[in-house]
Amino acid sequence: MSDKLLLKGNVALAMGAIDAGCRYYFGYPITPQNEIPEYLSAELPAVGGVFVQAESELASINMVLGAAAAGKITMTSSSGPGISLMQEGLSYLAGSELPALIVNIARSGPGLGGIAATQGDYGQATRGGGHGDYRLIVLAPNSVQEMYDLAGEAIRLAFSYRNPAMILADAILGQMKEPVLINPAKTPDPEAPWALNGAKNRAPRLVKSLYLKDGEMTVHNWKMHEKYNLLKKNDTRVEVDCPSNCALAVIAFGSAGRIVKTAVSRARKRGLPVGLVRPITLFPFPEQAVAEAAGKSGRTLVIELNTGQMVDDVRLACSGNSEVYFKGYPGGTIPTPEEIEAEICMIFEKGGQRVCRL
């Protein structure tokens, strides 16, 4: 029987990574994710792992690259400014087809910003962020339970596709406490076929992202592109809760998805046929699920803790088949369920349906 513990989100994520086999962490402190390295500094050595507080985020991501090239399950964590410094290393990881877990507990920005929650790093996470034609696998939890579960799932996906995977969360999820059911993920096969672990009794291996011969880089890019298509086909994750008579689909991810879920419940009690779509994989984006919900309802409302980033992916998925509304809360502003319920009511009133005032 699995244990259930009351855990802070950052701690749950760190515990989930250890339970999924992670034994190498390299990172540098930044609020609001510091409980992750704090927990790992104590617990990794206890299970035979390695914890290194590097001199910078630049050093951290390159240490991760080295451990990944050796076939180890490795990770780092930071927040927006630190993730920005890691972009070259992330591009090298992706170009070298190496698995690693990258965690971004986002803080408001741009610049140094503040420590309040934000979803302003969506574009950075889902568009690669660094140079070149690559993508990260991106998972967005919306509970402390998912902070634990998706740590293991990100590691599994990273190894399955030989690609760095990111968990994109924020200060709300990192700092809140909830009960967590401890159910460790299956650890990836430690015998990585790319691992640079000494060529004794086998042929030498090469891990690289430098391709200089004519056409080599083109072939490599198309190879990675096909991998992303396979990922999209087989490992897209989304929560959909749309009634058969849905007339408005509200779309949100992460912590915003929690707030929207309550707002949708409140709107339904008013008799409004409202649905919820919560992307869990931000890349690959759940285009088909969004398109189906939007096509059925004819209207979508996108809620984000930013000035509008995921809404671009929603519009692409809708392909003009749905009227898309957007409400953003940038810079650390957190909406209440009542505020989002009011937005839902206004949309129905624009469509000529009478709605009780709040």
Tell whether the model's pLDDT for residue 356 goes beyond 90: no
Give the helix ranges, DSSP H, for the chain.
9-19, 35-46, 57-69, 80-85, 87-95, 122-126, 144-161, 171-175, 216-234, 254-269, 287-297, 310-318, 337-350
Q: Which of 234, 268, 286 is the last residue of a domain?
A: 234
In this structure, the answer to whether residues 229 and 279 fall within a common structural domain is no
Confidence band, pLDDT 50/70/90 cuts, at residue 1: very low
Q: Which of 185, 205, 234 is the last residue of a domain?
A: 234
325 falls within a domain: yes
In this structure, the answer to whether residues 33 and 153 fall within a common structural domain is yes
In this structure, the answer to whether residues 115 and 192 fall within a common structural domain is yes
For residue range 212-255, what is the model confidence (pLDDT) as tens digits? 999 999 999 999 999 999 999 999 999 999 999 999 999 999 99
C-alpha to C-alpha distance for 201 and 168, rounded to whole angstroms: 41
Q: What is the CATH number of the domain that holds 259?
A: 3.40.50.920
CA 142, 147, 150, 152: dihedral to nearest 10 degrees? -170
In this structure, the answer to whether residues 140 and 230 fall within a common structural domain is yes
Q: Which of 196, 215, 234 is the last residue of a domain?
A: 234
For residue range 45-102, what is the model confidence (pLDDT) as tens digits? 999 999 999 999 999 999 999 999 999 999 999 999 999 999 999 999 999 999 999 9
In this structure, the answer to whether residues 204 and 270 fall within a common structural domain is no
342 falls within a domain: yes
In this structure, the answer to whether residues 125 and 266 fall within a common structural domain is no
In this structure, the answer to whether residues 196 and 260 fall within a common structural domain is no
In this structure, the answer to whether residues 116 and 146 fall within a common structural domain is yes
In this structure, the answer to whether residues 282 and 149 fall within a common structural domain is no
Mean per-residue pLDDT, 8-26: 98
Mean per-residue pLDDT, 103-121: 95
Residue 75 class from Cβ within 10 Å (0-12 exposed, 13-18 middle, 19+ buried)?
A: buried
DSSP codes joined into one string, 116-161: S---TTHHHHHT-SSSSS---EEE---SHHHHHHHHHHHHHHHHHH
C-alpha to C-alpha distance for 82 and 78, rounded to whole angstroms: 6
Domain count, the chain: 2
Pairing of strands 165-170, 299-304: unpaired
In this structure, the answer to whether residues 92 and 229 fall within a common structural domain is yes
Containing domain of residue 26, as a range?
Answer: 4-234
In this structure, the answer to whether residues 172 and 269 fall within a common structural domain is no
pTM, whole model, 2 decimals?
Answer: 0.96
In this structure, the answer to whether residues 267 and 220 fall within a common structural domain is no
